[in-house]
Amino acid sequence: MQTVWWLWPLVALCSGDQFRGEAEKIMRATPVIDGHNDLPWQLLTMFNNQLQEKAADLTSLAQTHTNIPKLRAGFVGAQFWSAYTPCDTQNKDAVRRILEQIDVIHRMCQMYPETFVCVTNSTGIRQAFQEGRVASLIGVEGGHSIDSSLGVLRALYHLGMRYLTLTHSCNTPWADNWLVDTGEDQAQSQGLSDFGQSVVREMNRLGVLIDLAHVSVATMKAALRLSKAPVIFSHSSAYSLCRHRRNVPDDVLQLVNQTGSLVMVNFYNDYVSCQKQATLSQVADHLDYIKKVAGAGAVGFGGDYDGVSRLPSGLEDVSKYPDLVAELLRRRWTEAEVRGVLADNLLRVFEAVEQVRTVAAVSAFPAGTKAGSTPVSFPR
């Protein structure tokens, strides 16, 4: 029996509704954990961090990719907010500037307690899911923000930092950035210097996620091999699909697989299609590819909303996550794989980082020694 031609759009629409409905059902129980959002930078550039200005109201803010209604529509249940200061603050006022950005994230939680709750561990994320609030975590974007000081690293941890991107688009004195691989910067540390290795070890000890977005391939490999805990790429995509040096090459994806690490796919058009235009389907291609090379447990979302100027058609703001999840279901991702990319993969990595921290804490105080009775020597 021949199907009438005009029925095909109706069939496609019904199929699309089916996948969208299934996506929303899954996301009500397992909401999105997104690895990177630059709304705090927008609050600085647009309002000088004056959150009480009427125009800065996050319930109605319209000119950004992110606001409270959009987060709700996108089923975003946890967000790593980027605390960022540009590379030109290095060796100047980077520490002060990063403290101000951490402050604005805390003030977001204080001003909108019905929506945001600032958390610092995996248990806090799960609790926020149950409460229907957005677990808000702090990711410091750029190792220049610690001013080559483990003391500053520890202080930022105490203020809530739970990942540190080892570089931004500039070398630090102890780690090389991605522009080394383009030839625009010269390698200084050949990946990680001795001090850079100390930073990685101290992050392991503290329980801070090591973020390898923005670093050189040599830095990626050095950190993956040194870290005792899995690492993340908070907002990077697959180099084989878009040959941009901000993306992750296949040999590094193999190390991601071997270490139980995580690549949270970036939505910036330039990293998705290597062109000014991109589509939701092309983002799904990156998710498919990383799943194929590194495994289903290695994939997450790191949209880079409010940090980029061009976004794919169909992923224009944070409300569009259900459409991307529907596309994965259309591509026959299992429900378990979808829950992984939404939240479970990041929670697994975070819990592994916390376990490494716990082991380090126990080893600092041998059996029979009371905590505090023997001084612990911290690296300087």
Q: Is 38 an active-site residue? A: yes
Give Cβ neighbours of residue 68 (< 8 Å, ≥ 6 apart).
Answer: 58, 59, 112, 115
Helix (H) or strand (E) holding 281: helix 280-294
Q: Is 106 an active-site residue? A: no
Q: Which of 211, 285, 304, 327 is catalytic?
A: 304
Q: Is 36 an active-site residue? A: yes
Q: Is 304 an active-site residue? A: yes
Q: Which of 141, 147, 176, 211 is catalytic?
A: 141
d(CA 216, CA 218): 5
Q: Which of 65, 144, 214, 286 is catalytic?
A: 214
Q: Which of 168, 181, 270, 337 is catalytic?
A: 168
Q: Is 327 an active-site residue? A: no
Q: Which of 36, 65, 144, 244 is catalytic?
A: 36
DSSP lists the bridge partners of residue 116 as: 134
Helix (H) or strand (E) holding 222: helix 217-226
Q: CA–CA distance from 310 to each of 33, 72, 141, 168, 302 (Å)?
A: 22, 22, 20, 19, 15
Q: Which of 38, 270, 285, 327 is catalytic?
A: 38
Q: Which of 65, 144, 235, 286 is catalytic?
A: 235
Q: Is 141 an active-site residue? A: yes
Residues recognised as catalytic? 36, 38, 141, 168, 214, 235, 304
